[in-house]
């Protein structure tokens, strides 16, 4: 079943969460996935980067070689994709969305800003695009430092990228400011609940 040709009534909805790194979008997405009545399943991205730590193919990512990834781009097998660094690709396979829709569930994405906006452009009616905003760039820097997973250079790079990403926030359907996590979770839950049941 090709995505473009399916009957829209049979398709589920697409819920996109995008944000600068450290904004808390992954925490929000995990929370929503735990709520059965929302009927959501997580879209696993494909990447050409190496596996890290305990990552599992088909669970954390679909790990492809750069050559495989480029071949799938050529065959138009991606809903959206991006070359983040040279030969370091990330994207959403059309088959992943089809797989989830076939189970009767809605698709939830935790993807970067440009990928999120591309999905919204392709499926304007079926997509709820939510931007998760940190209270401030300073707070974002504190959160990234607390993770202790990256070097100071990498943190500075993410902070610089965050400023550019924040400028795209008005292009999303909704902006959730993640200042107090409980409030952000509650707001996300209400938005998604209303959208999937509309």
Domains defined along the chain, listed by start: 12-196 (3.40.50.300)
pLDDT (tens digit, 9 = 90+) per residue, 53-74? 999 999 999 999 999 999 999 9
Q: Please report, to the nearest 10 degrees, the dihedral formed by the alpha carbons of residues 99, 104, 105, 111 taken in order.
A: 30
- Enumerate the H helices of 34-151 as residue ranges: 66-74, 94-102, 113-122, 137-147
Reference 126, options 3, 24, 2; nearest CA is 3
pLDDT of 2 over the 90 cut: no
- Cα 47 to Cα 17: distance, rounded to the nearest angstrom: 18
- Cα 10 to Cα 150: distance, rounded to the nearest angstrom: 43
pLDDT (tens digit, 9 = 90+) per residue, 130-165? 999 998 888 888 888 888 777 888 888 888 889 899
Q: Would you tell me how many other CB atoms lie within 10 Å of the CB of residue 55? A: 13
pLDDT of res. 145? 87
Average pLDDT, the chain: 92
pLDDT (tens digit, 9 = 90+) per residue, 6-63? 444 468 999 999 999 889 999 999 999 999 999 999 999 999 999 989 999 999 999 9
Q: The pTM is what?
A: 0.88
Q: What six digits make up the tokens of 76?
A: 């138009």
Q: Kindly list the strands in the beta sheet with 46-47, ordered across the sheet, starting from the edge strand earlier in the chain.
A: 62-63, 46-47, 88-93, 78-85
Residue 119 CA, distance from chain mean position: 10
């Amino acid at each position: 079943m090709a995505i473009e040709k399916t009957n829209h009534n049979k398709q589920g909805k697409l819920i996109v969460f995008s944000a600068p790194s450290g904004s808390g979008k992954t925490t929000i997405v995990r929370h929503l996935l735990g709520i059965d009545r929302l009927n959501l399943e997580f879209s696993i991205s494909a990447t050409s980067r190496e596996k890290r730590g305990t990552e599992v193919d088909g669970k954390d990512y679909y790990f492809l070689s750069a050559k495989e990834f480029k071949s799938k781009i050529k065959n138009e097998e991606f809903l959206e994709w991006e070359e983040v660094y040279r030969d370091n690709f990330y994207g959403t396979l059309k088959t992943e969305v089809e797989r989830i829709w076939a189970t009767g569930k809605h698709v939830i994405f935790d993807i970067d800003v440009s990928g999120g906006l591309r999905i919204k452009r392709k499926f304007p009616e079926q997509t709820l695009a939510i931007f998760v905003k940190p209270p401030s760039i300073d707070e974002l820097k504190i959160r990234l430092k607390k993770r202790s997973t990256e070097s100071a250079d990498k943190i500075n790079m993410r902070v610089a990228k965050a400023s550019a990403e924040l400028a795209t926030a008005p292009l999303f359907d909704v902006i959730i400011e993640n200042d107090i996590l409980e409030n952000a979770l509650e707001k996300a839950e209400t938005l998604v609940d209303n959208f999937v049941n509309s």
